[in-house]
């Protein structure tokens, strides 16, 4: 989990956000015909019991990137610098430096940012990643910015993620054998 430095509201901004979120929640009245829900059938192919993270794959430049953590606790999308290097995308890196704070509040300096076309189940979204050179377990981490942009609902329990497209509900299954 990473908490992005300057993107995290501070002080009175927190109160404004909580109030506006409460007000927006009160005026919602539209129900969607497509409901993203999980059922017992979604358990059928899983090894039980498990306490695993949701790890998936996606396509970048028609190359499958495995070992991608979907993390609701992260306010940033992160990719390893070695992945960017191996894909030959170093010329697309925007040199910026930011400190991302992890769950233990230890800071990790970024090497820059890059926007990539992430393809999951033929749904393509431009996604901004912070590049980290340090040793992280996963090739990439998809945090709340990507999850919200996809209108996705991930479930670690069911080891899958569902999201709406113009063609209906798409499902992405986790790589349970990879997740720890």
- Helix and strand counts by DSSP (H, E) for the chain: 3, 11
As for how many domains the chain has, the answer is: 1
Determine whether 4 is exposed, middle or buried from the number of CB atoms within 10 Å of its CB (0-12, 13-18, 19+): buried
Q: 180 lies in a domain? A: no
- The boundaries of the domain holding residue 135 are 2-173
pTM score of the predicted model: 0.77
Strands in 152-155's sheet, in edge-to-edge order, are 152-155, 160-165, 168-173
64: Cα separation from own chain's centroid:
16
- The enclosing domain of 160 has a CATH number of 2.40.70.10
Determine whether 77 is exposed, middle or buried from the number of CB atoms within 10 Å of its CB (0-12, 13-18, 19+): buried
Alpha helices in 94-177 (DSSP H): 144-150
What is the full per-residue pLDDT of the chain (180 aa) written as tens digits? 555 554 444 444 444 444 434 444 444 444 456 688 888 887 777 777 778 999 999 999 889 999 999 999 999 999 999 999 999 999 999 999 898 887 556 788 899 999 999 999 999 999 999 999 977 889 999 999 999 999 999 999 889 999 998 889 999 999 876 655
Q: 178 lies in a domain? A: no
Say if residue 165 is preceded by a cis peptide, omega within 30 of 0.
no
Q: 66 lies in a domain? A: yes
How far is Cα 98 from Cα 56, in angstroms, rounded to an integer?
26
């Amino acid at each position: 989990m990473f908490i992005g430095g300057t993107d995290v509201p501070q002080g009175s901004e927190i109160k404004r956000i909580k109030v506006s979120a409460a007000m927006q929640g009160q005026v919602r009245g539209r129900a969607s015909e497509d409901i993203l829900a999980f059922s017992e059938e979604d358990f059928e192919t899983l090894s039980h019991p498990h306490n695993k993270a949701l790890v998936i794959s996606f396509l970048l430049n028609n190359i499958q990137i495995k070992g991608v953590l979907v993390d609701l606790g992260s306010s940033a999308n992160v990719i390893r610098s070695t992945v960017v290097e191996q894909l030959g995308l170093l010329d697309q890196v925007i040199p910026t430096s930011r400190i991302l704070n992890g769950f233990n509040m230890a800071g990790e300096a970024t090497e820059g940012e890059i926007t990539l076309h992430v393809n999951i189940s033929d749904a393509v979204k431009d996604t901004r990643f912070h590049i980290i050179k340090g040793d992280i377990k996963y090739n990439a981490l998809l945090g709340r910015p990507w999850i919200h942009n996809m209108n996705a609902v991930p479930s670690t329990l069911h080891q899958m993620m569902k999201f709406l497209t113009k063609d209906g509900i798409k499902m992405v299954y986790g790589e349970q054998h990879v997740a720890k």
